[in-house]
Amino acid sequence: MAQHAAEGTKPEVLFWVGCAGSFDARAQKVTKAFVKILNAADIDFAILGNEESCTGDPARRAGNEFVFQMTAIQNIETLNGYDIKNIVTACPHCFNTLKNEYPALGGNYNVIHHTQYLNQLFTDGKLSVQGGAFKGRKVTYHDSCYLGRANGIYEVPRELLKQLDIELVEMKRCKTNGLCCGAGGAQMFKEDEPGDKRINTERVEEALGTGADVVAANCPFCITMLSDGIKAEEKQDEVAIYDISELIIQSM
């Protein structure tokens, strides 16, 4: 935001990068893909850079309300200081927290997930694809819990995938009946609880059962868990995991 603040202007949208998108090597590729798309569509956007902190989602899910509120209030003061109105993020966890939990603490913003934003760019004619590497490929889509069940967004990502002229094949459990990747509720940061089978392994088995050679996702946590599951099944040379923005950028 430094340049916009210095110029006395506001961006069309603030891109909330998130912890994973900033520090995780795999999620950084999604961040770069999304930024390339924003630049291609000539979108005036900004990021907070070092002023962005964790939304506090993992702390709240793990039961540390004090840390969540301290973190959230700090972020809200920063966002309000820049008079931010519109926020887009590639992380459903950030999306859910900013959209549904920050208002109670004084943070009221128009928050959209990057799949919603990308779909709007297609609708507005600011974005188009040529078909590219995925044309005609079998692709299955994994519904992330915080975009799907928590916020009821199921069709937008699928509409995006159809723009790529792919063959969309659904897993047995999808949409409102979708299966968690195993990382939600701060599970990403703790050891597995005893059980017969890891959730991400079970989910990957469903994905493999579709015959798809590409699994599309929209969440950095899901991408990590699905990738680990694919490796556990020793199918990493046969099946690829991509964020939808990565599929788009390779099809432009």
pLDDT tens-digit series, residues 56-78: 999 999 899 999 999 999 999 99
pLDDT digits (tens, 9 = 90+) for 92-117: 999 999 999 999 999 999 999 999 99
Taking a C-beta distance cutoff of 8 angstroms, is the pair 221, 183 a contact? yes
What predicted TM-score, i.e. pTM, was given to this entire model? 0.93
Domain annotation for the chain: domains and CATH numbers: 2-119 (3.40.50), 128-249 (3.40.50)
* 189 has a pLDDT exceeding 60: no
The pLDDT tens digits of the residues spanning 139-151 come to 999 999 999 999 9
Q: State the average pLDDT for the chain.
A: 92
Q: Quick one: which of 10, 245, 13 has its CA closest to 110?
A: 13
Q: How confident is the model at residue 48 (pLDDT cuts 50, 70, 90)?
A: very high
Tell me the residue ranges of DSSP E strands in 91-235: 110-113, 138-141, 167-168, 214-217
Question: What percentage of the chain exceeds 90 in pLDDT?
Answer: 81
Structure tokens at 151: 């916020």
- The whole-number average pLDDT for the span 29-33 is 98
Cα 91 from Cα 6, distance rounded (Å): 28
Res 133: pLDDT: 78
- Residue 9: per-residue pLDDT: 76
Nearest to 185 by CA among 91, 90, 99, 60: 60
Residue type, 59: A
For residue 50, with 0-12 CB atoms within 10 Å meaning exposed, 13-18 middle and 19 or more buried, which class applies? exposed
Q: Which pLDDT score is estimated for 4?
A: 74
